[in-house]
Every structure is written in C-alpha cells, then in structure tokens.
Structure 1
C-alpha cells in the first residue's frame, strides 16, 4: 500500500524527495499519513479535492488485509 501511494504521489509533485509516508495501524484500520513539501500540497489535493479523492479511491480499491484504509495529507 505504501509503495502504491508513493508511486502515485511522486508522479504529480515537484519535490518528490520530500515525500514521507507513515503507516499507523489501529485495529483493522490502516492510516497512511502522507507528508509532502509545502509547495506540493495543492497538487496533491487538487481542485475541490479531486486529486486527493482519486488517490483515496485507488487505495481503497487496492487489495489489502485491512478492512479500512485512511489517507491523511499533511505538510
């Protein structure tokens, strides 16, 4: 899951070296915290959150051993 998220985000940001992903497991939930460069926040979120929604949709559709996957986008 982490590699999939990293691959998607690296393709759209200007500072791919600043991407950091932390995984937190809370029971049956996997929470992915995505940290990107301050200038790349808008690119990851997109207009009206469309890019973030698309990333989340792909993560939810990917096979996983968790019942729920959450994505938090941080600075």
Structure 2
C-alpha cells in the first residue's frame, strides 16, 4: 500500500510559495475509497489548481497511478484555509 499523503505532500510543497502552510490529510470511506485533502494558504490556491485545473488534474493522475498496483480508489481534493 502506497503512502498517498506523503506523495501528494511532496508535490504540493514544491509548487507553493508558503510550504509551511501546506497540510495533506487522508480519509478512508467505508467502501474503501481514499480521499486526500490538500489545504494551502489562500495565496497558493491558484498554484495548486493551475490554469483550467491542469495542475490539480496532474496531481490526481499521479495519485491514481500510484494506486493502480494496490487496486485502491484514490481521489484528491483542494480546500482553501
């Protein structure tokens, strides 16, 4: 089983200007799906989402690619503090 929190945290901290304000949390549903929630400073939300959502979609693709071997369903969401 991959550690999706560490993977997403590594990527997001490299993107933002305030890496100390980044927090990544994992929540598992009863059905077995994993939701990764990213919280960043208001100034950095645009950097994480990207133009037309391209950056967050790329992060989602990386997380899903990491989950293929274990067969888990992973989704990534961004929340603004």
Taking structure 1 as the reference length, the TM-score comes to 0.92
The structural deviation recorded for 1:45 is 0.3
The CA RMSD over aligned residues, in Å, is: 1.3
Q: How does 1:38-53 map to 2 (within 5 A)?
A: 38-53=42-57
Query: Can you list the C-alpha shifts for 1:6-28, whole angstroms capped at 9, x where unaligned?
Result: 10001110000001111110021
Indicate the residue corresponding to 2:5 in structure 1: 2
Taking structure 2 as the reference length, the TM-score comes to 0.86
Please give the secondary structure, in 2, of the residue aligned with 1:22: strand
- Return 5+ residue gaps in structure 1 as ranges: none
- Return 5+ residue gaps in structure 2 as ranges: none
Distance in 2 (alpha carbons) for counterparts of 1:24 and 1:52:
18
Indicate the residue corresponding to 2:36 in structure 1: 32
Which among 38, 62, 75 is matched to residue 70 of structure 1? 75
